[in-house]
Amino acid sequence: MNVDYIIVGFGLAGLAFAETLEKHDKSFVVFEDNSQNASIVAGGMYNPVILKRFTPVWDAIDQLRIALPFYKGLEKKLDVKLDYPIDIYRIFSSIEEQNNWFNACDKPFFAKYMIPEVRKNSNEAINAPFGFGKITNTGKIDTKVLLDKYKDYLANKGAIHFEQFDYSLAALDNQTVFYKDYVAKCIVFCEGFGVKRNPYFKDIPLREAKGELLTIHAPELRIDFLLKSSVFIMPLGNDHYKVGATFNWTDKTLLPTEDGKNELLTKLKRIITTDFEVVEHVAGIRPTVKDRRPILGKHPQYEQLAILNGLGTRGVLLAPKMATKLFDHLDNNADLDKEIDIARFD
C-alpha cells in the first residue's frame, strides 16, 4: 500500500504530526507499541510562565497561538472536551519572592498572565503564610482522553497498527521507504525516549527525565485552581487531585518507585494540612534535550527518515507548532530554525 508518511510512535508528537498531515490531505499510517507513556500520564498544563523564576517560557506566545486553536479543532473533530482553562496559584515562600513577582509583573510579556497582587490564603487546608501569586489564561489539555479518542479515530480508518515498529525491516532506496506492506515517501519517528532503540537516531543528545505523579483523594482540600509550590496540585474533580512531579535523571524505567512516592508525599505534606488518600501512582519519561529545545529534521544520510522529538517538559505547547514546522520542512522544503534543527548537533 502506498502512503505519504509512516509515523512511528503516537504520543503528543505523533498525534500532532498525524493531525497536521490530515489537514494537508496526506495519507499516513501509524505504528504504536505502548512502550512509553509520557503523553498519557502528563499533567497536560500549558502555561507561558516559568514558575520557579517568573521568566517567560521560550517562544511560548507563538506556541500558544498555534496550540489553542489546534486543540479546539480536535475537540470538534473528535467530539470530546479536551481544554480545561484553569488558573495557577503560586505559593510564595518569602517576602523576597513576592518582590520578584511584582518585578516580573511590570514586564509587558506577563501583563495578560500574572496578576500584580499578593493573594491572601483563606483555606485552612493550605499552608501559605506569604500568600499566592495568581497566573491566569492558563489551562490543561486532557492528553489521555485526546490520545485515546484519536487512536479510536485512526483505528476506525485502519490507519494505526498497535505493534512495535521493527527497525530492521525498514528498507530504503533513493526516494522511498519500504516497511512490511507499505511503501512511503518518508518515516517520521516520534518515539519520545523510545528513540534510544532506533538505530538511525539513537545518538541524539537526549537528557531524559523520569517523572512520577500521584493521584490523591482529599475531600477537605476544596480548590478549583492549580496550586504550585515544590510540587503542583491539580484538581481533577470529585475531590481528586493530581500531584507531581518528580525529576529523576538516572532511572530510565517506567515503573513508579517508593522513593518517588515518598518524595512527593514529603513535599505535599508541607503544602497541605488536610487528610488525603493516594489512589494512583504513575511514571513516565520526559524526552528532554541538553539544550532544552526540540529536535526536528531529516537524518543526515537518509532523506526519507525524519524525527520529531525532544518535547521535554512542555509537549502540550510545543507539539502543534513543531509538527507544522516539520511538515513544512519535509513537504515544502522550508528551512528549519537553527535552534530546533537536528543539524545543530552535526
| Residues lying near ligand FAD in the complex (CB under 6 A) | 8-14, 31-36, 38-39, 41-45, 164-165, 190-194, 197, 211, 213, 244-245, 284, 286-287, 309, 311-317
CB of residue 106 to ligand FAD, shortest distance in Å = 27
* Distance, CA of 276 to CA of 219 (rounded, Å): 7
CB of residue 229 to ligand FAD, shortest distance in Å = 15
Q: Would you say 272 or 319 has its CB closer to ligand FAD?
A: 319
Q: Would you say 78 or 105 has its CB closer to ligand FAD?
A: 78
CA distances from 150 to 11, 81, 82, 127, 266 (A): 11, 13, 12, 40, 37
CB of residue 199 to ligand FAD, shortest distance in Å = 11
Q: Would you say 48 or 287 has its CB closer to ligand FAD?
A: 287
CB of residue 117 to ligand FAD, shortest distance in Å = 25
Q: Would you say 25 or 258 has its CB closer to ligand FAD?
A: 258
Q: Would you say 140 or 185 has its CB closer to ligand FAD?
A: 140
Give phi and psi for 115, each to the nearest 5: -90, 125
CB of residue 118 to ligand FAD, shortest distance in Å = 25
Q: Would you say 131 or 206 has its CB closer to ligand FAD?
A: 206
CB of residue 142 to ligand FAD, shortest distance in Å = 11
Q: Would you say 29 or 126 has its CB closer to ligand FAD?
A: 29
CB of residue 46 to ligand FAD, shortest distance in Å = 6
Cα 113 from chain centre: 20
CA distances from 235 to 161, 226, 240, 293, 310 (A): 34, 7, 6, 29, 28
